[in-house]
Amino acid sequence: MLVTVQGETTAVWRATLGSDGERAPVLSRAGIEALVSLCERAAAPGSPCRVIVLDSTPAGFCRGMDLDALAEDPAEQAEQGVALYADMLARLREARAAVIAVVRGEALAGGLGLLCAADHVIAEHGSSFALPETTLGLVPAMVLPLLMERMPPQKARHLALFGERLYAQRALELGLVDMVCSEGHGERALKRVVKALLRCEPGAVSTLKALSGRVAPLGWRAGLSAGAETTRALLEQPSVVANVTAFVKGGEAPPWFARWRPNDDGGSAEGDSQ
């Protein structure tokens, strides 16, 4: 998998997943390490990153594990490849920036795990999704926890058990993706989503992402207590109180409001506040 990153001096960082062939890429060690490195840079103090886009080419999003590498050296994959993939998924899920996946073509097996770690998934018509691991004697063990954040456990288990191929509209119905658009219109849909995210206060985004992971396994009462604790902590922050006061009094838009203008080369540029 070839990972091309653009826009690292702006609020929107785009990582395009590509291959050197006509098929969707597979999860090579170099590609996974590139995504881990991207997450590290995005999380660094002073980073301008507010949105990470996992983009795909028309060849497809990602076909999952590199089976050729697995067949050649299964011990290395078991000892190092598994840990590296799990670390990548964790970093994407816990990123303080919002993560958007734009799916064209196939998203299979470990590639489907990538989009499950995202906060918002855009799928073009014709995209397809599947977890075929059981046909090889494997199970999507690292994908399942994130998949179950997106759909009911029974539906996730059924998808993993039968390995059936879903297409964009059915994936939308099950919650696997969040938006479906016509083929070739993924960029237009992405612009709308990024525009909305750049109106969100960056700290609120990271707080929401962390809180959702904490409360998901809790009962409603424990979740309510965790929510109350988070709200009290936020209301004790002078910056939050200042934001609310400015909103009540009206006037200029908050300072974090920004525009995103993709460059001709596929990168991105953050414009003036709006």
pLDDT of 266 higher than 70: no
**Same structural domain, 48 and 62:** yes
Give me the pLDDT at residue 261, please.
Answer: 76
**Same structural domain, 175 and 252:** no
Give me the pLDDT at residue 265, please.
Answer: 44
Amino acid code (one letter) for 144: L
Q: Is the dihedral of CA 191, 47, 227, 233 positive or negative?
A: negative
Do the domain assignments include residue 131?
A: yes
Structure tokens at 69: 């590498």
Q: Is 259 in a helix, a strand, or coil?
A: coil
User: Number of folded domains in the chain?
Assistant: 2
Q: Which residue has the higher pLDDT, 270 or 232?
A: 232
- Asked if residues 226 and 215 have their Cβ atoms less than 8 Å apart, the reply is yes
**Same structural domain, 130 and 48:** yes
For 1, residues 6+ apart whose C-beta sits below 8 A from its C-beta are: 17, 18, 19, 25, 26, 27, 28, 30, 31, 32, 62
Each residue of 142-191: pLDDT tens digit? 999 999 999 999 999 999 999 999 999 999 999 999 999 999 999 999 99
Entry pTM:
0.89
Each residue of 97-130: pLDDT tens digit? 999 999 999 999 999 999 999 999 999 999 999 9
Expressed as residue numbers, the domain containing 251 is 202-256
| Residue at a domain's end among 197, 219, 245 | 197
Tell me the β-bridge partners of 2: 18
**Same structural domain, 31 and 138:** yes
Do the domain assignments include residue 264?
A: no
- Asked if residues 2 and 66 have their Cβ atoms less than 8 Å apart, the reply is no
Confidence band of 73 (pLDDT split at 50, 70, 90): confident
Do the domain assignments include residue 262?
A: no
**Same structural domain, 27 and 132:** yes
pLDDT of 270 higher than 60: no
| Residue at a domain's end among 197, 217, 241 | 197
For helices 220-235 and 238-249, angle between their N-to-C axes, nearest 10 degrees: 80
Structure tokens at 224: 């309510």
Do the domain assignments include residue 164?
A: yes
**Same structural domain, 136 and 213:** no
**Same structural domain, 247 and 170:** no
Do the domain assignments include residue 101?
A: yes
**Same structural domain, 217 and 90:** no
Do the domain assignments include residue 48?
A: yes
Average pLDDT over residues 53-78: 85
Do the domain assignments include residue 266?
A: no
Structure tokens at 192: 């709308």
Query: What value does the mean pLDDT of the chain take?
Result: 89
Do the domain assignments include residue 267?
A: no
Q: Which residue has the higher pLDDT, 214 or 99?
A: 99
Q: Check which CATH number belongs to the domain holding 98 and give it.
A: 3.90.226.10
